[in-house]
Copies of this chain bind each other. A is one copy, B any other.
Amino acid sequence: MSEAPHLTFDLEKPGMSNGHLVVPEGADCEALSLPVVSLNKGEGPRLLITAGCHGDELEGPIVARRLLEWLPEAQVCGRVVIAPMLNPPAVKACSRNTPIDGLNLNRVFPGRSDGSVTERIADAVARVLLPWTDTVFDLHSFGLNWDFSPSSTTHPIADPVLMAKTLQMAEAFKLPMTLVWEHPGSPGMFDTLAQNQGKVFVCAEFGGGTVSFDAIALYEAGLRNALIALGLVEGKPEYPTFRQQKVTQTFETRRSSDELKSPARGIFEPRCSVLDQVKHGDIIGALYPMDSLTADVIAIRALGTSIVYAIRSGAYVEMNEAVALVARPVNQ
């Protein structure tokens, strides 16, 4: 009989502990050891930081790893557990989904102990790491194919008290955008599971495109701001600079109606930048049909007043592929 998922160290031990979350073997692969660090300074907030859920979003693992260079000394109270690489097979393959079973880890929570490897990872995280914490920061990004505004995001939550607490936590990152993201309700997401247990869950969407030195500095500053807001670290929050500006705003978006799609197959050219404001009829991108140089360029236009928070990199796209995402300021 297979062992149960477990940590290789005692989470209650004071100070810094370093080890692994063991995901038991199954028919499809051997046991996995996900690196985990616990920083236990006693009473105070309990925070779980996870990253590397999707293997092509490396900002999170890098920033989580950078935290270890200063947080053990800077932390003044409370407890932080950091798991910077939830899905090692996907990270090694640089793929969103786990290559072994083709599953998206963020669609299979709470997982299954007798399932395939991705389901076993979710089961281990849900049973061993999640019950222990009050707050989760799950560090994502948008991969190499999109230009995306660095954001802290949440989905709408039915419980108004938890919604208010979550939004306040998300805004504490002071990233250029805080986003309330109404989506069609994909089953199996990590945030839904945590919220159903009354926990504050913020998903950081750390931009897109190249994972550069500048980008990493920006994301680390956002995470530090959130740690200060929780009282885990002392200091003054800073508004990181993005596109020569130091601002943060709260927006809402609907996945269904705020997604602009390519009207045909061809080469997409972005004609605006993230955080640009657009109004009805403004051109946000152009589509070049592939076969003829005199075929009309197809303009892709905004449907209403909004800001562009994500735009596809110039690339060959299929018809109906998403090329831009827009949002509107939350009514204050």
Contact = CB atoms under 8 A, between A and B. Distances in A.
- The residue in A37, A91, A94, A144 that gathers the most chain B C-beta atoms within 10 A of its C-beta is A144
A177 to B, nearest CB: 17
A3 interface: no
B269 A62 contact: yes
Interface in A207-238: 208-214, 216
A141 to B, nearest CB: 10
A30 to B, nearest CB: 14
Nearest to A37: B293
B37 A212 contact: no
Interface string A1-43: 0000000000000000010000000000000010111000000
Interface stretch (A129-137, A156-164, A182-190, A308-316): A308-316
A315 B94 contact: yes
A94 B314 contact: no
A292 interface: yes
Contacts of A66: 269
A61 interface: yes
A208 B314 CA distance: 11
B210 A147 contact: yes
B212 A267 contact: no
A288 B62 contact: yes
Tally of this chain's copies: 2
Contact of A293 (B65, B294, B297): B65
Interface in A85-101: 85, 88, 91-92, 94
A171 interface: no
Interface in A281-332: 288, 290-294, 297, 311, 313-316
Given A35-B291, A35-B293, A288-B62, A313 B88 contact: no
Contacts of A62: 267, 269, 288, 314
A242 to B, nearest CB: 13
Given A209-B209, A313-B144, A91 B58 contact: no
A68 B267 CA distance: 15
Contact of A210 (B33, B61, B208): B208
Interface stretch (A110-118, A193-201, A270-278): A270-278
Nearest to A284: B213
4 residue pairs, one from A and one from B, having the closest CB atoms: A211-B314, A209-B210, A144-B144, A210-B313
